[in-house]
Amino acid sequence: MNEQQLIEDYAPKKDFELTEFVIYNEHGDLTNIYDLQETNRTTTLFWDAVISIPREDNQVFVKEARFDEISIQYRDDSHNVRILLRSTLDKNVWYWLFSAAKIYDSLYNAFLWKAIFAKHIFSWADVRADILLMDFKENFYEWVTEKWNHDKEFRWWLSWMQGKTDFRGVVNTCGHFLHNQAKNLNAEVLLRLTFFRDIGHAKNQLEEASLKTESQKQHEKTFVTPTVFRWFKDVFPGRLFLVTQNINNQSSQSTQAPPTLDVKNSNEKSEFRILSHNKCTQFIFLEKETVMLDGISFAVGDTVEVYPDEDEADDEPLICILTELKTEGFKLLWLYTRNQTLLKNLDQDSHPQANQELFFTRHGDFLALSEEYLTRLNRLCGCFHVEDEGWYKFVEKYRVGDCVLINPIPEELTKFYTIACVEAFNHQKKSVTLRRFLRFHEVREEKWGGVNELNELLYSEELVFEFKNFDKPIRFCHVEYFNYSDWLAYYPDNRNPLPVNLQYFGAGDHANEQIITRFKPYHQKVSNETKLCGLDLFCGSGSLSRGLEDSGFVECRWAFDKYFEACQTFRQNAKYDNVVVMHESVNKILSDAVKNINKKIPKRGDVEILMAGSPCQGFSTLNRQKGSSKSQVNNSLIASFASFAEYYLPKYLLLENVAPFIKEPVFVKLIACLLEIGYQVKFGLVSGEQIGCPQSRVRTILWGAKQEVVLPDLPPVTHDSGEILRGITKPKYISFPKITIERVIGKLPRIQTGVLWFPSFPDHRINTFYKNYHRDKEIMKIIPKEPKADYFTALERGLIPEELQIVNSTGSPFCQRINKDGVFSTITTNIRFLDSDIIIGQIEDQYKIIGNAVPKTMSFALGIQLGYALTDPFHRSAWGSQME
């Protein structure tokens, strides 16, 4: 029977009970009723069902009945709701969904769950004013369980949350549905649901009007400070607006004169000549204090001019600084002129004192000397033995209880560092007693797997040995005790399975073990450290600053971005409640800061670290319109980052961008500009794959530091990367195996090929209304199952029917299968968020937010390097990394 016959045969009956029903779309695919409420476009769905006719004791089967409207009836005295479908043939006829067919049960329960969720929210609004999204983090759970926990059906409903008490992700996922349902409420209750604005519905009209249209933004000039304007005015002609009010010369902001080097012209050509300078760093590990050469006394920290041999083509003198004196010679660090650095590539050097600057480098050297040249306190022949140098450095750097990474024990064939704990020092033998920790995989034959096995260690009473190989690469490693029973008590219902530092897959050389009790958790080790007040520019979702916060050395106080959904994502995941998140253009922020007209914006002197992941689309190799107005506006925001640096003069700068940025001419300009402002600079490429992120994407990282503080290093490689990545060094030894795709997503529910949605998770959704959804779903079912097979593989094998073939294809990989033992490619958005993070917006917004975010494993590892710099007042790590 069809619906028309049903209505005609059983008139004037206006409501029917549907049993054994299924609901599907025009393609015949079973679908969720929720799709009607997910979009504002008109959509028609179909149902088949058995209808009971009580008076006739009869049942009829109805097929292909259409509907495009639903109604949800709520009752205050019941946990459940009643869901009705409205006929398209007769608007007075309604069908009550009574019981679903077994094949449709999971889809119906998913919608029923959301309908009940809406009922509880609206009931809550009757007794509470101004419900914000943040109220769903804990407050909603407390209210709803107190009211309904006695109800058996409610407990079934609550079980879908799998122990979680945070409903914010579900609210965001159900945003359209909840908003459409709320339209039926009275105005007083609707006004209380202020969380709609938090998730992008019913945005404040005044706020939206304050942001310009997209076409206007493309012509908006970038506000810059004077020094930045001088460096970038020729790079972005006509696109920069000079801000001059209340900006003093940067030198007036510092009471300490920068380190200087007095280089005078001289006709005298002795082999060595000492140069006078203001020492800017302290040196330790002194084996010798002075050395006599050509009648000149040199000391560690002195700057020396060295003339090349007469037979060398270049007769320009070289300049170096002495860093260590040894029995057989001394170590030195070369200082480069601007023409010996990448600054030589500047088309026009705008620095007013370009010829009077020298730069520290990472290039060291060793100059061997005869013994008679060496003195110690003006006495011949120092008494230290060179073979003991490593011992003294080790004693100076480490303490009993510290954990270290050392090269693998010789008899073992492995690429993983050995992890050990310092148990004792033997000063007589000049040796150290180490206790080795076994990795979990070393005691069983199975492959890496499980929850914690990548960084799980096992304690042994027997693996204690004497260690003397101090010339081998050694560095700190954090090991902490993790008691399973304590975890269950602290994290009830498995809502948050691991402390945040242990959720980063070992980034930053972190390890975890479950036996011993004397190793403090990471957060306790850094809890007393002074945190830098941070500003996150172009903050996006906050993954850059959040990773640094989790490292324990930064507290982000201000975050600015023009993307509303990204700002709201930042706000919901913020670690500290006092952070000021502003949905505003950085040009307006800088202008207001200079004019001092907005109390929410930090004042000069408030910001200690400036973090930025500036818009990178203009530099990306995937951008085919690099010369477009929009790309040029995005590119010019590099000048905005430099302007914030010049205005606020924070102690530290951290910039992240795409890998190709490091090859752009504007990058050289940025380096030169920051140097003139007064910053040390260190930059390089960092691979997400080598630092615990399952993606082959490489990023440009730039550190900046004021001259009086230690410049942080780039993070060490901690994870295996399989293939050698272009522009990235692959070390001989690493700490952890590669984080594979299988490890990250292998425990997700197994669904059928082509299925894009799993209904048992309330916060899971997929956009089934994009243009080619049905075509793509069918194509996915056809793709061969070997890794890297894609649409074109299937097309070449004649597997794609004509009706599914793509017209005007770009040739890029499409519907490509991945290798479970590999990592995601550059084009795929990677795993950058913690499971507990909330990502605001519709699906398209979430794709963009995730795709633009910095991997938190990377930012966490960068934070650890910042911590080393902050806790290293004598520059030990800086000199050590350069000379070893």
User: Which residues form the catalytic set?
Assistant: 616
Among the listed residues 623, 695, 696, 694, the one whose alpha carbon sits nearest the alpha carbon of residue 664: 623
Whole-angstrom Cα Rg for the chain: 33
Q: For tokens 């799998």, name the residue.
A: 162
- DSSP E strands: which ranges in 531-650? 532-537, 554-561, 580-583, 609-612
* Three-state DSSP class for residue 884: coil
State the amino acid at position 403 in one-letter form: C
Q: For tokens 């209380």, name the residue.
A: 192
For 655-676, give the DSSP string: EEEEGGGGGSHHHHHHHHHHHH
Q: Per-residue b/e over 244-271, b at no fewer than 16 CB within 10 Å?
A: eeebeebeeeeeeeeeebebeeeeeeee
Among the listed residues 433, 166, 384, 404, the one whose alpha carbon sits nearest the alpha carbon of residue 285: 384
C-beta of residue 709 within 8 angstroms of C-beta of residue 876: no
C-beta of residue 253 within 8 angstroms of C-beta of residue 649: yes
Identify any residues that bridge with 96 across adjacent strands, giving them in sequence order.
Answer: 17, 84
Task: Catalogue the long-range contacts made by 61-66 (C-beta closer than 8 Å, 24 or more residues apart).
Answer: 61/1, 62/1, 62/2, 62/3, 62/6, 63/1, 63/2, 64/2, 64/3, 65/2, 65/3, 65/6, 65/95, 66/3
Q: How far is CA 94 from CA 11, 87, 357, in A?
A: 12, 6, 82
Q: How far is CA 171 from CA 28, 166, 493, 843, in A?
A: 29, 10, 21, 14
Among the listed residues 106, 346, 72, 276, the one whose alpha carbon sits nearest the alpha carbon of residue 182: 72
Q: Which two tokens stand for residue 265?
A: 């012209």
Q: How far apart are alpha carbons 574 and 571 in whole angstroms?
A: 5
Q: How far apart are alpha carbons 121 and 125 in whole angstroms?
A: 6
* Three-state DSSP class for residue 357: coil
State the amino acid at position 546 in one-letter form: R
Q: State yes or no: cis peptide before 12, omega within 30 of 0.
A: yes
Q: How far apart are alpha carbons 218 and 630 in whole angstroms?
A: 5
Question: Which H/E stretch holds residue 390?
Answer: helix 389-397
Q: For tokens 């080795």, name the residue.
A: 436
Among the listed residues 822, 747, 718, 737, the one whose alpha carbon sits nearest the alpha carbon of residue 450: 747
Q: How far apart are alpha carbons 263 and 274 in whole angstroms?
A: 10
Q: Which two tokens stand for residue 58?
A: 């009869």
Q: Which two tokens stand for residue 239?
A: 């696109």
Q: Which two tokens stand for residue 405?
A: 């990474």
